Amino acid sequence: MGLWRMISSLRRKTAHATCLSTTDNRTTRSDDLTDFCIALRPELFEHVTEQTREQIRLIVSSWEPEITGEAKRLLIALFEPLWHPNALNNFESLVRYLEFGVTRDLSPGPLFNGSIYRSRVALSELPPLLPGESAILHWLRYGAAVRIVPTDRFIDDLYYNDYPDIAVSGLWAFAHFIQYGVKEGRMLANYKAFYRTRNANIFAQEDLPPAYRVWLRQDRPDLIRETEEFCTAYEYRLHNALESGELSRILAEIGDIEPQVGGIDSIQLYLLPPLHQGDGLPFAHAEVQRRLPRDHYDTVVCVPCTSTGSSDLVACILTEALLRLRPMESVLILRVDSPKFDPIHWVPPAADCVDISDLTTALEPDVAMHFLRLIFRGVTARRVFNVNSRLCWETMRSYGKNLSKSLNTYAYMFCWNETEDGRIIGYPSEYFADTAATMTAFLTDTLYLRDELARVYRLPLQVLERIVPIFTPVQSKGLVPSVVRNAFDSEGLGCQQTVLWAGRLDSQKRFNFVQEIARLMPDVSFWCWCEILQDYSLDLNGMPDNIKMKGNFDCSHDLPEVESCVWLFTGAWQGMPTTIIELATRGVPVVASSVGDASEFIQVDSGWPIEPDAEATAYVKALCHALGNPQEATKRAERLQSRVTGTYTVQHYDETLAKLISGEMLP
């Protein structure tokens, strides 16, 4: 908030009390006056201390008694520190002026002109100014009381004409303007300000009222700041065009040709780009450039945030693969939707990862989409991958055709979700149909989702070919000996039985169901790594004692050193359970609901698949079987290990991705 705006509110509070006062101002106590001055011009009294207050009190008290309190207040209002620039700070500048400037006939600011005042006194019945007498002192003694305006920059009648509320109030226009009007944004007829939005401080930092900017340029052009120069130069020019009547004459002449043009008074707004852009783009646009380590990226990967979720792992695997395939190219991971940031270790160091979620969420949705489009253009990306960013999906949907002319657009699609009543929701159902025509390709991490989309939309071959299943490679090599064999060899199996589970606490992962299973197996420990979602309410009261709650799960680090364990997967619908794939490489026995792609590799010879609609007892039976039969558990876990490590490989992933991007048509 600029100083001027800040003090305007303070001034408004005291406006009527002062301007409408009928008390004898000569009786104003210096304490009250000091307080008033501080309230009137707080920017002059920053860091007010008792010492400061005393200093002002002494100066004000020392003034001649015939100078009224009202006149003193007007002097404080007239004083402009910018016109007295050699002091250390505003307060020192004021003190110096009050002590020495007044008696030496210096002008307090742009609205006091000693020559003009002298000429006006000469035409009045006031005591004449003596040779060498200070004009400002004379005005304080006599001129202010009879409302002599000491400048040709202000005309009372014009102000009354523009502001009828002041005209009918009986207030002196000049006194009102310098004390309150200017801070209330009341403009003088020939001093039009170009409209400035909140963001205008990117381009012009000085928050001076418009007329004062023009006067500063006239009186002290050497003091115009470089950043402000841009604006004041145009305002000065506009002021001249208005004051000379040049614009009015042109408008009058054009009015003869087209009456609809109207007069100069009908102009409601004065615009000077870029000051008027009010949608937040200037700041966001400047800020994103400041944050980006480079001006150009070949690939942008949009993610909602960075967390320990599977999609974030996929985004990083994708990034790593791109850097492997195109080592000379650059990749930017853009965190678009949410400031959430888990310090995950899998962001490839060769990629830049930048959070813009604070910028996108501060913009209106339409503007945020446009902003993202500007970033893609700005970094001259060859391709954009969307990995679950909603804003990116929205942008692809709104501007897909437009973007497709300058870059290749890809979107990852994972499983879709289901509501409790079985309705399909989620990004594939929300955005696939609207973006299918313009997206370069879609990536799915399962065959299942591609086949489902083909079935639901009856996709022609041309579209189907652009849905590319790409299996997320496992992050670790097959562990030898496997976890299960290690436990078996150490004769640990059967000693301490533990069921492991990880997932979001949402309806898809069915943690309620896990609790139900745990209750049926009171002698078995259940270790659960949970990500709590803000928009999902779950009552954890009454949770069985054998459940041990953990934090977020990182499958490459968090597998506990337990003697006998089985992984439990209770997902209610399809999707590639990335965590299971990672655990499978380590040789962990898995009991899993047979949904989506889990059913592709968890079969009776490689785990314990459970029918999707099975009850808890079916899981209990399978878990007991796995925990109680170490040889069978070892056999199935190692078969699963072999299947996963042969399919979910970096080589497969890279081949698929390389084929995809080598076929790019643009640019």
Whole-angstrom distance, CA of residue 566 vs CA of residue 500: 6
Binding flag, residue 236, another protein (CB under 8 A): no
Torsion angle of C-alpha atoms 275, 281, 287, 289, degrees rounded to 10 = -110
Which of 261, 447, 459, 562 is close enough to bind another protein by CB under 8 A?
261
One residue of 125, 226, 420, 421 binding another protein per CB under 8 A:
226
| Cα separation, 66 vs 501, whole angstroms | 87
# chain residues binding another protein, by CB under 8 A: 55
Q: Which of 363, 358, 13, 366 lies closest to 198, judged by CA? A: 363
Q: Is 289 in the site for another protein (CB under 8 A)?
A: yes
Contact stretch for another protein (CB under 8 A) within 56-64, 113-121, 243-251, 531-539: 243-251
**Which C-beta is closer to another protein: that of 124 or that of 402?**
402
Pick the stretch among 35-43, 239-247, 338-346, 439-447 that binds another protein (CB under 8 A).
239-247
Q: Which of 37, 74, 188, 238 binds another protein (CB under 8 A)?
A: 238
Q: Which of 20, 223, 271, 437 binds another protein (CB under 8 A)?
A: 271
Please tell me the distance from the alpha carbon of residue 93 to that of residue 242, in angstroms, as a whole number: 34
Nearest-angstrom CA–CA distance, 466 and 666: 15
Is residue 229 a contact residue for another protein (CB under 8 A)?
yes
Q: Which long-range contacts link 351-358 to residues 24+ away (Cβ below 8 Å)?
A: 351/301, 351/319, 351/323, 352/292, 352/293, 352/294, 352/297, 353/306, 354/288, 354/291, 354/292, 354/293, 355/291, 355/305, 356/284, 356/288, 356/291, 357/305
Minimum distance from residue 249 beta carbon to another protein (Å) = 10
Residue 136 Cα distances to 62, 192, 232, angstroms: 16, 28, 28
Least Å distance between CB 304 and another protein?
Answer: 23
The answer to whether the CB of 488 falls within 8 A of the CB of 631 is: yes
**Nearest-angstrom CA–CA distance, 554 and 564:** 20
Residue 250 interacting with another protein (CB under 8 A):
yes
For another protein, give the closer residue by CB, 254 or 540. Answer: 254
The smaller minimum CB distance to another protein, of residues 268 and 651, is found at: 268
Only one of the segments 50-58, 264-272, 329-337, 605-613 lies at the binding site for another protein (rule: CB under 8 A); that segment is 264-272
In terms of Cβ atoms closer than 10 Å to its own Cβ (0-12, 13-18, 19+), residue 534 is exposed
Cα-only R_g, the chain:
38
One symbol per residue from 106 to 145: x for binding another protein (CB under 8 A), - otherwise; what is it?
----------------------------------------
| Binding status of residue 434 toward another protein by CB under 8 A | no
Task: Name the nearest CA neighbour of 599 among 396, 454, 448.
Answer: 448
User: How many angstroms separate the CA atoms of 485 and 488, rounded?
Assistant: 5
- Report if residue 368 touches another protein, rule: CB under 8 A: no
The binder of another protein chosen from 47, 401, 458, 477 (CB under 8 A): 401
- According to the binding rule CB under 8 A, does residue 644 interact with another protein? no
Q: Which of 285, 450, 485, 643 binds another protein (CB under 8 A)?
A: 285
Contact 353, 306 (CB under 8 A): yes
Write out the residues near another protein by the rule CB under 8 A. 192, 194, 203, 226-227, 229-230, 233-234, 237-238, 241, 246-247, 250-251, 253-254, 257-258, 260-262, 266-274, 277, 281-282, 285-286, 289, 292, 295-296, 366, 370, 373-374, 377-380, 398-399, 401-402, 405-406
